[in-house]
């Protein structure tokens, strides 16, 4: 242990309990150092990287009810250190084997009054960032308690550029990210909050393992200090809890280029391992659904002549899914409750009562017979009391019909969540406070009991709980494709090259890509999906989700079979992920290796600027020729004027190839790489860009 101490920790502690000297813990590579200090009884930490300030002295601690402070006049009663280097396997994911490599410092602190209370602060320092959390152990003088304030700060030494959305807005996380100086951002910000320093260092602040606690937003203080701002209960209390308690981890991911944020697994590493004994029923996959047509105004959720969820239409969707190998068919609006002002009257959803025109028993069996499944839908309109009363039955109902995945929804248009308090009175809670954090977990737990995967819309943000509860597959918690519908207001081309560096650092997103009808309607020239056709395909790789929708209508896929093939081929479960190009808000190229084969897939996307990007294929296996099936923009493609300027080209490549990706304004590129067959290797008609070749965007060798 002395050797470990010498290697990983620098402990200047000289005497207990005076604690006048700092405690330090370093990252495994020695470059990141967290120092805890006690400044006149205040508990502070600061962080350096390469010996330079990354965070200035930042407060730690909790303030409880009854004037109890776990923040001031604390004395140290002990500390522990340990070092972990392990590699664990995901049940599913964007990377199969994840290395968890950190040094930990655990400091036990006691108040100095007559009824001493104890707080433990734990720091884990990784090469790619750090996390800390509070633990309140079981103790004599602290049983049940309320947290009135968490003091955690992140004191940035300068004013960085931030990509941010403001917290406490009526539409939760569903806003476009703004890019500005942090000092010009809203007063309170959602996490993940991603920032770039003036010297080009990237930071992202978030939290891991948010459970039984309020979610954290960040309040801007003076001098670039961000302070934890916990979303309160309706009475102002932040957290209702009791010892023993652990808080979520407060996380700071750090990277020299933005792409390294995407391949940081720090948040997953700070979650607990899988708790589900049987995961055989959890399967990533792709689905279609009766959904986009409602956004197009071609059908309604509610009953009547335009009702989308009819038996006949669902049967056609099942046929289409079965013909093309989709894993499921989502049907929204099949259960009673959608008529009238369903958002206002949201209490009325009946989760096990189909509309008369929807023969769920026949359809679920039809789907199973054809080798696919229905995907369930639980719209709650934010009426959690109504939902929780039916939830167990609702999941059992689906399970009995072979349903394996359920999309949940909490559309509330700003209305808060009603709950009954202990006195039977109705209290109105926010969507992001402790009450809803716990509700969302109850849903995941109930779903697991019925072998059902959750795809949560209008949910709490992800914090890596998918590791612990791997039926928590994917979610919304951001502005998805639906905003690109004719009345949606639009996301613009840059949004999908901001999301991977912000919201998606927290976890997968059900963005619902794959819209092929891209040309603007005559009466809505400003409202259309802001990418080219190849750009839609790229999203299946750039935006990670274990469940991905092919969101457009089957007839639109029938019209573009060449492009559709990529959606059919692309997996949603990956052995490995690597980022080739990354500029936040500008462009992104990601490559991922299929979990189940030797195929690699590339997705590259840009904002409204066209790009030529060189992509060396160093990730491929050496010595092996691959066929690259390239789905790409033409030279005159443009999301506004020519979104269908699309071509598909096959070319023989290998690990020594450098391809040139031509991304049109609002465009993209999608590539499947698969080992070439013997016939393909000797097929002289197949264009070649192998053997150290660099090729231009039209796959012609670049001479010298």
Active site residues: 482
End-to-end CA distance of the chain: 56
Q: Which helix H or strand E contains 398, and what residues bound it?
A: helix 384-400
Is residue 613 at the binding interface for a copy of itself, with CB under 8 A as the rule? Answer: yes
Q: Which is nearer to a copy of itself, 231 or 664 (CB)?
A: 664
Q: Which is nearer to a copy of itself, 111 or 271 (CB)?
A: 271
Contact 72, 163 (CB under 8 A): no
Is residue 686 at the binding interface for a copy of itself, with CB under 8 A as the rule? Answer: no
Q: Which is nearer to a copy of itself, 305 or 623 (CB)?
A: 623
Stretch that binds a copy of itself, among 38-46, 357-365, 423-431, 630-638 (CB under 8 A): 630-638
- Choice from 14, 143, 623, 682 touching a copy of itself (CB under 8 A): 623
Is residue 94 at the binding interface for a copy of itself, with CB under 8 A as the rule? Answer: no
- Choice from 183, 597, 641, 677 touching a copy of itself (CB under 8 A): 641
Residue 235 exposed, middle or buried by CB count within 10 Å (0-12, 13-18, 19+):
exposed
- Is residue 665 classed as helix, strand or coil in its secondary structure? coil
Stretch that binds a copy of itself, among 202-210, 285-293, 322-330, 660-668 (CB under 8 A): 660-668
Beta bridge partners of 155: 56, 225
- Choice from 4, 5, 18, 50 touching a copy of itself (CB under 8 A): 50
- Choice from 378, 611, 632, 672 touching a copy of itself (CB under 8 A): 611
Is residue 91 at the binding interface for a copy of itself, with CB under 8 A as the rule? Answer: no
Here the tokens at position 141 are 């003088």
Contact 45, 56 (CB under 8 A): no
Here the tokens at position 123 are 């720091």
Q: Which is nearer to a copy of itself, 554 or 585 (CB)?
A: 585
Q: Which is nearer to a copy of itself, 7 or 20 (CB)?
A: 7
Contact 257, 159 (CB under 8 A): no
Alpha-carbon distance of 668 to 644, in angstroms, equals 12
Give the shortest CB-546-to-a copy of itself separation in angstroms.
Answer: 19
**Beta strand 97-111 pairing with 74-89:** antiparallel
Q: Which is nearer to a copy of itself, 14 or 199 (CB)?
A: 199
**What angle is formed at CA 435 by the lines to CA 430 and CA 436, rounded to 5 degrees?**
65
- Is residue 511 classed as helix, strand or coil in its secondary structure? coil
Beta bridge partners of 84: 102
- Choice from 199, 280, 423, 682 touching a copy of itself (CB under 8 A): 199
Give the shortest CB-542-to-a copy of itself separation in angstroms.
Answer: 16
Site string for a copy of itself, 252-291 (x = CB under 8 A): ----xx--x-------------------------------
Is residue 12 at the binding interface for a copy of itself, with CB under 8 A as the rule? Answer: no
Please name which of 533, 467, 539 lies closest in space to residue 510, comparing C-alpha atoms. Answer: 539
Alpha-carbon distance of 238 to 227, in angstroms, equals 14
Site string for a copy of itself, 571-600 (x = CB under 8 A): ----------x-x-xxx-------------
Here the tokens at position 193 are 């909050």
Is residue 23 at the binding interface for a copy of itself, with CB under 8 A as the rule? Answer: no
Residue for token digits 């965070």? 55
- Is residue 1 classed as helix, strand or coil in its secondary structure? coil
Is residue 116 at the binding interface for a copy of itself, with CB under 8 A as the rule? Answer: no
Is residue 352 at the binding interface for a copy of itself, with CB under 8 A as the rule? Answer: no
592 Cβ neighbours under 8 A, 6+ residues apart: 94, 541, 544, 574, 576, 577, 578, 600, 601, 603
Please name which of 46, 44, 48, 11 lies closest in space to residue 27, comparing C-alpha atoms. Answer: 48
Is residue 97 at the binding interface for a copy of itself, with CB under 8 A as the rule? Answer: yes
Is residue 664 at the binding interface for a copy of itself, with CB under 8 A as the rule? Answer: yes
Stretch that binds a copy of itself, among 11-19, 27-35, 36-44, 139-147 (CB under 8 A): 27-35
Give alpha helix (H) positions in 509-637: 533-542, 554-558, 561-569
Is residue 704 at the binding interface for a copy of itself, with CB under 8 A as the rule? Answer: yes
Cα separation values, 478 from 408, 457, 462, 502, Å: 15, 9, 11, 10
Give the shortest CB-523-to-a copy of itself separation in angstroms.
Answer: 25
Give the shortest CB-530-to-a copy of itself separation in angstroms.
Answer: 14
- Choice from 22, 116, 610, 675 touching a copy of itself (CB under 8 A): 610
């Amino acid at each position: 242990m002395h050797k470990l101490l010498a290697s990983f920790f620098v402990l200047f502690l000289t005497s207990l309990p005076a604690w006048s000297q700092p405690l330090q813990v370093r990252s495994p590579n020695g470059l990141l150092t967290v120092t805890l200090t006690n400044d006149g009884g205040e508990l502070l930490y600061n962080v350096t990287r390469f010996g330079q300030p990354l965070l200035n002295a930042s407060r730690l601690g909790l303030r409880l009810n009854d004037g109890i402070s776990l923040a001031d006049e604390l004395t140290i009663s002990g500390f522990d250190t340990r070092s972990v280097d392990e590699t664990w396997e995901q049940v599913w994911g964007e990377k199969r084997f994840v290395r968890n490599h950190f040094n930990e410092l655990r400091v036990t602190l006691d108040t100095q009054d007559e009824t001493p209370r104890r707080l433990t602060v734990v720091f884990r320092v990784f090469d790619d960032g750090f996390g800390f959390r509070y633990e309140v152990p079981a103790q004599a003088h602290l049983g049940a308690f309320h947290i009135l304030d968490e003091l955690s700060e992140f004191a940035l030494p300068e004013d960085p550029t931030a990509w941010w959305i403001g917290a406490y807005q009526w539409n939760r996380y569903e806003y476009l990210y703004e890019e500005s100086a942090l000092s010009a951002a809203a007063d309170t910000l959602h996490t993940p909050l991603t920032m770039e320093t003036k010297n080009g260092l990237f930071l992202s602040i978030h939290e891991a393992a948010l459970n039984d606690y309020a979610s954290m937003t960040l309040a801007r203080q003076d001098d670039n200090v961000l302070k934890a701002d916990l979303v309160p209960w309706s009475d102002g209390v932040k957290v209702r809890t009791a010892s023993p308690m652990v808080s979520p981890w407060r996380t700071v991911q750090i990277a020299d280029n933005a792409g390294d944020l995407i391949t940081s697994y720090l948040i997953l590493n700070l979650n607990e391992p899988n708790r589900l004994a049987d995961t055989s029923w959890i399967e990533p996959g792709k689905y279609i659904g009766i959904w986009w047509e409602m956004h197009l105004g071609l059908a309604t959720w509610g009953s009547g002549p335009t009702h989308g969820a009819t038996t006949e239409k669902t049967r056609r969707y099942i046929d289409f899914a079965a013909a093309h190998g989709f894993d499921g068919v989502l049907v929204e609006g099949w259960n009673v409750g959608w008529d009238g002002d369903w958002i206002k009257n949201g209490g009325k959803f009946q989760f096990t009562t189909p509309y008369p025109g929807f023969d769920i028993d026949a359809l679920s069996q039809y789907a199973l017979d054809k080798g696919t499944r229905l995907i369930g839908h639980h719209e709650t309109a934010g009426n959690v009391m109504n939902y929780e009363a039916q939830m167990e039955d609702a999941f059992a109902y689906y399970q009995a019909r072979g349903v394996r995945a359920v999309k949940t929804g909490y559309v509330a248009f700003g209305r808060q969540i009603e709950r009954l308090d202990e006195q039977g009175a109705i209290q109105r809670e926010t969507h992001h406070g402790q009450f809803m954090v716990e509700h969302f977990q109850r849903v995941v737990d109930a779903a697991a009991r019925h072998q059902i995967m959750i795809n949560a819309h209008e949910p709490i943000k992800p914090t890596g709980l998918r590791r612990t509860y791997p039926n928590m597959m994917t979610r919304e918690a951001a502005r998805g494709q639906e905003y690109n519908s004719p009345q949606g207001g639009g996301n613009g081309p840059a949004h999908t090259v901001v999301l991977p560096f912000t919201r998606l650092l927290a976890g997968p997103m059900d963005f619902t890509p794959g819209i092929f009808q891209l040309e603007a309607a005559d009466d809505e020239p400003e409202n259309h999906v802001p990418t080219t056709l190849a750009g839609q395909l790229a999203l299946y790789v750039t935006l990670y989700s274990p469940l991905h929708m092919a969101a457009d209508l089957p007839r639109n896929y029938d019209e573009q079979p060449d492009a559709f093939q990529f959606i059919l081929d692309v997996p949603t479960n990956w052995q490995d992920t690597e980022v080739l190009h990354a500029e936040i808000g500008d462009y992104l190229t990601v490559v991922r290796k299929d979990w189940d084969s030797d195929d690699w897939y590339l997705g590259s996307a840009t904002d409204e600027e066209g790009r030529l990007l060189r992509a060396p294929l160093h990730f491929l296996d050496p010595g092996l020729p691959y066929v690259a099936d390239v789905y790409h923009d033409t030279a005159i493609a443009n999301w506004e004027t020519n979104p269908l300027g699309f071509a598909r080209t096959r070319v023989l490549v290998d690990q020594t190839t450098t391809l040139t990706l031509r991304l049109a304004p609002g465009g993209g590129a999608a590539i499947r790489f698969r080992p070439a067959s013997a016939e393909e290797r000797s097929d002289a008609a197949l264009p070649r860009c192998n053997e150290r070749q660099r090729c231009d965007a039209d796959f012609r060798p670049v001479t010298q």
